[in-house]
Structure 1
């Protein structure tokens, strides 16, 4: 089993990162605030303006560690990495399959829909007695309709656009009832529908931030097995977009991202004071809020779940790597199909 390495997140503006021997040192205003051995890291992610020394950049490139630069709100700015790894034959197979990817897309969509339904059913199981009857009925109806879409996808011979339409239909059902999963009374923490660029409320700001973290991990997992993260199957190719990383993220984000966001809100680890309103109606996580999310994200990745296809328990942080590995095995012809990951 691959070792679960840490990702170093640096969210303090004005911080400096430098190399000292075989360590990454983080300093703020000339005072050392952290020191991490390079061999324990899988990557470094920074937020906002800060300094990274050239020797550290070179050391990361030499060791295959990616350095990802995000702005203070979590939007992607740049990525620094060393030589591209991977088997050219595997990437050729990926490009060929991308011309007719229906079977892989079907698996991705089934995984996403199954995990969306599992999130709704878990909420009903755990909290139906304390939620209003109308909310419980809405969640149950959405779960049933998503199950019908899954059956339609699984047993029908479908075209790619039909599969994309089924994924979009299920997403509308899921997010239409997402507010019922929030159990705090503050009006500032209500969900009023998905908004992205920019997020227009606190819940969307939190979801967008956690999706960024998951996309980074999925991209790193794909690159670690030699796949091209830019050439996807469900998501159309677009310059600058890691389409395959977004594909891999789809089946994982109901459990990895959505449930984490709900836990942080419902356990009151995040509240209205952890968000900032900007010009034009945009809402972003504050510096303190980002640090809370990053800590919870790292802890979440340590939780173990049984991976049914692999047949053993694995930390959630390794699931993107395992799925990337299974996808590469399918593309090489070692597996008849791509097995999605289902949360149980």
Structure 2
């Protein structure tokens, strides 16, 4: 999976001599915006994300992109998904009818909703296990919540249990965030993209918008209706099934944001505070989030005896769901494959040593010397 981010003023996409010409936007009159030219049948971009202020997209360019199976995603100034133009969808009408029948069957709907939340719980545990390798103060226990989920019979019950685990998860996740990020937790009130007041929530919201667009692509490819979900209520203005499908894969965004924080690559200049005191990403910050999101989506995992990317797994899970709805697959689960992350702190430790001032290095060396002397006084003199 490969994304191209377009930002700034004067974005232009057009077709000339059968080739697609793309010009990125500019932020000053002195800079020279980057230009791209793609020949027919040689497009190596899967998705174009437009986070710009102004520009033009010709009808012929839209046709060119759709014919080459390239998704066009439009994001609002605050990172919220405005719309997405998708390649042609599957014409299998039976799949949609099966989806509608499952939605109307309350028992079938609740069973599917549970599957999404079971997977979310499993992936949340994987994230916390990964973080605990570096932050031992992170302790959690979802056993009671899992037991409640097994007995839950209604969507309302399921959502209530999910909300409780989410509250626990974000409070533990927050323990790995440095104080300067001013991140406390994530609730229904501040989870809206337009209400982000801190850097972590801004990055999370932007990442979830990218994930939503990928879920829409997967849903579209298998012929399901993005507006008819099982966990989330059906709403013509919302992509309810995309929200459902996000749940087992939100961990990808959570880890991508944590990676950016731990690497120390995000800078204050990557954010801007609006007049309403909300925070948003500048183009530099958006690009960093997209790059890390791409890295995570392209990371490999073993599934069905194959070494696949998480992006490919998302597509496979959408297909498995469609097959389950039409009766081609008896069971469905979203917990597998399991994310297993092993820490390698050697690069981080090396960076910390390099960044140390002489005073810090001298102090650390003295402490280490005195500690070793206590343990083996006869050898250190």
Instruction: Report TM bin, short chain.
Output: 0.7 to 0.9
Partner residue in 2 for 1:126 = 134
Matched, 1:230 2:255: no
Shift of 1:46: 0.8
1:241-320 to structure 2, matched below 5 A, reads 241-254=238-251, 256-307=252-303, 310-320=304-314
Q: Which runs of 5+ in 2 are unaligned?
A: 27-31, 341-381
Q: Is the 8 A contact 1:304 1:315 kept in 2?
A: yes
Q: Is the 8 A contact 1:178 1:191 kept in 2?
A: no
Flag the 1:21–1:250 CA change in 2: closer, same or farther, 3 A.
farther
How many aligned positions are there? 321
Matched, 1:339 2:354: no
The correspondence for 1:199, drawn from 196, 200, 220, is 196
1:15-30 to structure 2, matched below 5 A, reads 15-21=11-17, 23-28=19-24
Q: Is the 8 A contact 1:47 1:72 kept in 2?
A: yes
Comparing 53-62 with 283-292, greater Cα deviation is found at 53-62
Flag the 1:72–1:220 CA change in 2: closer, same or farther, 3 A.
same
Q: Alpha-carbon deviations, 1:269-289, whole Å to 9, x = none?
A: 113332111122201111111
Q: Is the 8 A contact 2:124 2:169 kept in 1?
A: yes
Shift of 1:205: 0.6
Matched, 1:322 2:324: no
TM-score (normalizing by structure 2):
0.78
Partner residue in 2 for 1:169 = 164
Root mean square deviation of aligned Cα: 2.1
Secondary structure at 1:192 match in 2 = coil
The correspondence for 1:107, drawn from 78, 90, 115, is 115
Q: Is the 8 A contact 1:13 1:47 kept in 2?
A: no
Partner residue in 1 for 2:209 = 212
TM-score (normalizing by structure 1):
0.86
The structure whose Rg is larger is 2
Partner residue in 2 for 1:41 = 45
Q: Is the 8 A contact 2:3 2:290 kept in 1?
A: no
Flag the 1:104–1:332 CA change in 2: closer, same or farther, 3 A.
same
Partner residue in 2 for 1:149 = 145
Q: Is the 8 A contact 2:8 2:51 kept in 1?
A: yes
Shift of 1:83: 5.1
Shift of 1:63: 4.2
Flag the 1:180–1:31 CA change in 2: closer, same or farther, 3 A.
closer
Distance 1:299 1:82 in 2: 23
Comparing 218-227 with 55-64, greater Cα deviation is found at 55-64
Q: Which runs of 5+ in 1 are unaligned?
A: 129-135
Q: Is the 8 A contact 2:84 2:213 kept in 1?
A: no
Partner residue in 2 for 1:131 = none
Q: Is the 8 A contact 2:95 2:326 kept in 1?
A: yes
